[in-house]
Amino acid sequence: MEKTYVGTVISTINSPSPSSVDFVVTNETVHRGQFVEMEHEHGIMLALITNVVKTNKYFERADSVKEFEASGKAILEQFPTAEWEYIVANTRPLGIFTESGIKRPSVPPSPGTKVYLARESLLKKFYGFDDNGVYLGRLEFHDLDVKLNMTKLLKKHLAVLSISGAGKSHTVACIIEELLERKKEQGRIACIVFDPHGEYSSFAEPAKQGYVDYSDKTLLIQGKQIRIGVPNLNVGMLAGIIPGISLAQRRELSRILSELKKEMRSGNGPFDLSKLKDAIASDSEIKTNTKSALLAWLSELESLHLFGKTDLPSIRDIVMPGKLAVIDLSDIIDLRKKQIIVSYFAHKLFNERRKQRIAPFLLVVEEAHQFTPEKASEEQAVSREILRTIAREGRKFGASLCLISQRPVQLDTTTLSQCNTKLILRITNPYDLDHIAKSAEAIDKRSLDMITSLQVGEALLIGEAVGYPLFFKVRQRKSMPSKHEMTLEEAAIQFEESVAKKNSESKAYL
């Protein structure tokens, strides 16, 4: 393939060096974020354009520009300013393709070296794109699909971070589509989404024209339908839910639970919270204080209407290779109740996977800062510990985590730092940027600076999946967009139409 010449390396105070190479653009147009290649004494050097600067001697002095412009004789009309405009591109060398592999640059290219647009084959090799991988989008300014190896992308967990409305859910929907479309021989994993706003429920709906239908591969579970089987709880799980439980109270609760489970196995059938409460109330060994405290807590749990005799749904029913389970928590307002659901099902998923009773899975946690918050007491962060555990140990068992958050600063640093790949869309809050920088070794200052200027749909991928920071444009989703992607105008029209319909129906009835 013919290489496209774009410029020549120039000599400045700071360039060329192993970490910075500037070139004057002599041909074509180059863009920030574009890749270039150049000859190097050790092989072919690949570099990323980090900035493009236009200069013009006639416009360097503000006072002179003002003078000329104020005189009514524009500089453009008096001097050949266009002849003086030149473009300098600053690049960051990424690696050198040598005969023995890709090496980090330790010697700069010489001034005068010709610079070319990077060939696709080179980029593909550098980023390790996989033809069978997860197709996330296009490399901007290059005719190249970003297809990432599934293991590299997900095994050591993924965090998707950005401000609200920058395309987090869209990007994750693309990942889910890719997982659902994988063939058996490619290796299929299950996908479970904790969805606090019902953004993924559209996967379960029959697709409208122009969209791909994933409804046959999707199971939608409404939060209100969920029940946690009390016999499946152990005292550890309950202690995580009940704030401030003492050792003595734990011991008594454990004893009674064991007795009830024994009775269940002997043929009495499963039990629920009210039966547990009855057992505690009628137990003669528990001290009165302990008894009343336990009963009070259990009554409070009962009021959540979350506990039953069996799990609903059963984990084994929802975790299937190549299938998606959306746990829609949008009808639950109580954050604690949502945390209990996430905590319980995450425990179950992890434990079942450890025992290899379910398929390897990707657990997607939307609004992850709600479920694994940074600064919150144990009682207010019921699900944090299990998510930390999956983040720490999940990779050994094929239990992958995908955390999505619009407030990285409120996200638990321990969990976030275990997400070895970070997919970052637009972020503007300096505290969030700082938090990301602290939890991601792979990110450098220049990449961090570029995050603030990302447009909707543009993403930066750093970490395990790519090795070097990668900016790309996220592809269009194939599945139906969620109802949240509706414009304000559309929502308003829809509302008024539904009200009018109701009115006419009641009129007709009367």
Partner 1 sequence: MQSDFRNFSMQTIEEAARLIKEGSEKRKALAEKIVRSLKDASLGESKEGLVIPVESIKLNSTIAGIDSGFMSESMLNVEIVFVRAIAAIFSYENGKLSKASYWPELAPYPEAIITTRAMQNEDVSTHRSLQRLLKEVKLAIDVIERFKPNYCLLDGSIIPQHADKPRNNSKVKPLYRDVIGAFENLFEISHKNNCTLVACVEDSRGTRLKEILSEHANELKEMECYDISLLNYILSKGERTFAFSYAKDINEHPILKDFDKKFSSSIYAFYLRASNYDVPLRVEFLSLSKKLSEKASEIANVIYSLSNAHREYSYPSVLIEADLRARLKPNEVEVIRNKLFNKLQLSTGFIIKRRSRRPF
Chain residues that interact with partner 1, rule: CB under 8 A? 57, 64, 67-68, 71, 73, 77-80, 83-84
Minimum CB distance to partner 1 smaller for 14 or for 71: 71
Whole-number minimum distance, CB 9 to partner 1, in Å?
15
**Element at 144 (helix H, strand E):** strand 144-148
Whole-number minimum distance, CB 438 to partner 1, in Å?
43
Which residues, in sequence order, are CB contacts of 49 under 8 Å at separation 6+?
30, 31, 32, 33, 34, 35, 36, 89, 90, 91
Minimum CB distance to partner 1 smaller for 56 or for 254: 56
Whole-number minimum distance, CB 13 to partner 1, in Å?
12
Whole-number minimum distance, CB 72 to partner 1, in Å?
8
**Closest-CA residue to 238 (of 306, 287, 285):** 306
Minimum CB distance to partner 1 smaller for 13 or for 333: 13
Whole-number minimum distance, CB 67 to partner 1, in Å?
5
Question: Half-sphere exposure of 351 toward its Cβ, with a 13 Å CA cutoff?
Answer: 12
Q: How far apart are CA 445 and CA 472, in angstroms?
A: 18
Minimum CB distance to partner 1 smaller for 82 or for 333: 82
Q: At what angle do helices 273-282 and 288-302 cross, to 10 degrees?
A: 170
Give the CA radius of gyration of the chain.
29
- Asked whether 7 and 23 are in contact (CB, 8 A), the reply is yes
> Hey, what are 37's tokens?
């290649």
- Phi/psi of residue 47, each to 5°? -140, 155
* DSSP class per residue in 203-264: GGSPPPTTS---GGGEEEEEGGG-BEEGGG--HHHHHHHSTT--HHHHHHHHHHHHHHHHHI
Cβ–Cβ contacts within 10 Å for residue 312, how many? 13
> Hey, what are 283's tokens?
């137990």
Among left, alpha and beta (phi > 0; psi -120 to 50; other), residue 330 is alpha
Minimum CB distance to partner 1 smaller for 43 or for 111: 111
Distance of CA 316 to the CA centre of its chain: 25
Which residues, in sequence order, are CB contacts of 82 under 8 Å at separation 6+?
none
Q: How far apart are CA 268 and CA 261, in angstroms?
A: 9
**Element at 141 (helix H, strand E):** none
Whole-number minimum distance, CB 71 to partner 1, in Å?
4
Whole-number minimum distance, CB 21 to partner 1, in Å?
18
Whole-number minimum distance, CB 61 to partner 1, in Å?
11
Whole-number minimum distance, CB 70 to partner 1, in Å?
8
Whole-number minimum distance, CB 115 to partner 1, in Å?
20
Whole-number minimum distance, CB 83 to partner 1, in Å?
6
Whole-number minimum distance, CB 182 to partner 1, in Å?
58
Cβ–Cβ contacts within 10 Å for residue 227, how many? 17
Whole-number minimum distance, CB 57 to partner 1, in Å?
6
Minimum CB distance to partner 1 smaller for 68 or for 126: 68
Minimum CB distance to partner 1 smaller for 80 or for 267: 80
Q: How far apart are CA 293 and CA 311, in angstroms?
A: 26
Residue matched to tokens 């008096």? 78
Minimum CB distance to partner 1 smaller for 55 or for 303: 55
Minimum CB distance to partner 1 smaller for 108 or for 408: 108
> Residue 330 in 3-state DSSP?
coil
**Closest-CA residue to 368 (of 153, 172, 120, 151):** 172
Minimum CB distance to partner 1 smaller for 23 or for 35: 23
DSSP structural state of residue 198: -
Minimum CB distance to partner 1 smaller for 28 or for 67: 67
Question: What are the residues facing 9 on neighbouring strands?
Answer: 23
Dihedral angle over CA of 16, 43, 445, 453, nearest 10:
100
Cβ–Cβ contacts within 10 Å for residue 398, how many? 19
- Asked whether 357 and 222 are in contact (CB, 8 A), the reply is no
Minimum CB distance to partner 1 smaller for 78 or for 121: 78
Minimum CB distance to partner 1 smaller for 57 or for 251: 57
User: Quick one: 191 exposed, middle or buried, by C-beta within 10 A (0-12, 13-18, 19+)?
Assistant: buried
